[in-house]
Amino acid sequence: MNNDIARFNMIEQQIRPWEVLDGQVLSLLSVVKREDFAPMAHKALAFVDMEIPLKDASHPGQVMLAPRVEARFLQNAAVQSTDKVLEIGTGSGYMAALLAHQAASVISFELDPTLALQARANLQAAGVHNVEVRQADGCQGAPAEGPFDVIMLSGSVPDVPQVLLNQLSIGGRLLAVVGEDPVMRASVITRTADQQWQTSEPWDTVAPRLQGFPEHNRFSF
């Protein structure tokens, strides 16, 4: 398979039709080699419109998100070169690499020690040096190092914790997939004042749960 042709087709056939039209984002997707962040067993799937498993079947929620979802999140984030970014859910490190190319610095939390180790190796091999991968539960963020201009949750949550919203700078954006399967929406929450946030829900998608975030109570009758 010619990776350059496959990458071009991914961008033109999957990503552009999903209303990702930002030239900087599209160029970045051509530069950062997605196949270098896919697990060896699944490299042939790097450009396919699907989630790629990062571990075995006993860890079904640990995936690379579909390319079109990653791209649209990146477009909605509108990352600037001076931005400080927090990512929760490093996975393979691919989204961290995309964010790092646009931002000043990225802190990325990964709960799984094996994935954290692999993400560090992937980022180093890709020449990305402004990402710090931390093997830890990121559901509380990193309040001592905020505020952050962008916070990205690379997975779904039932609700966005207030503790994370409090770590946004004024004008900062938090991006997450919020809701319960099968009804989830991409949410972009912007901090507009010290105690004021504005939410938009520009598109629908479904994504695996991020670990560590509390679920809603489920009642049975």
pLDDT in tens, 70-87: 999 999 999 999 999 999
Neighbouring CB atoms inside 10 A of 50's CB total 13
Q: What is the DSSP string of 64-116?
A: EPPHHHHHHHHHHHT--TT-EEEEE--TTSHHHHHHHHHSSEEEEEES-HHHH
Predicted confidence at residue 182, as pLDDT, reads: 85
Domain definitions of the chain by residue range? 3-204
With 60 as the cut, is the pLDDT of residue 60 above it?
no
pLDDT tens digits, one per residue of 125-148 = 999 999 999 999 999 999 999 999
With 60 as the cut, is the pLDDT of residue 219 above it?
no
Cα-Cα-Cα-Cα dihedral of 48, 53, 74, 155, to 10°?
140
Distance of CA 51 to the CA centre of its chain: 13
Predicted confidence at residue 58, as pLDDT, reads: 58
What CATH code is assigned to 3-204? Answer: 3.40.50.150
How many Å apart are CA 133 and CA 116, to the nearest integer?
7
Report the percent of the chain where pLDDT is more than 90. Answer: 87
C-alpha angle 160/156/167, rounded to 5°?
Answer: 35
Q: Among 199, 164, 215, 219, which residue's Cα sits nearest to residue 61?
A: 215
With 90 as the cut, is the pLDDT of residue 55 above it?
no
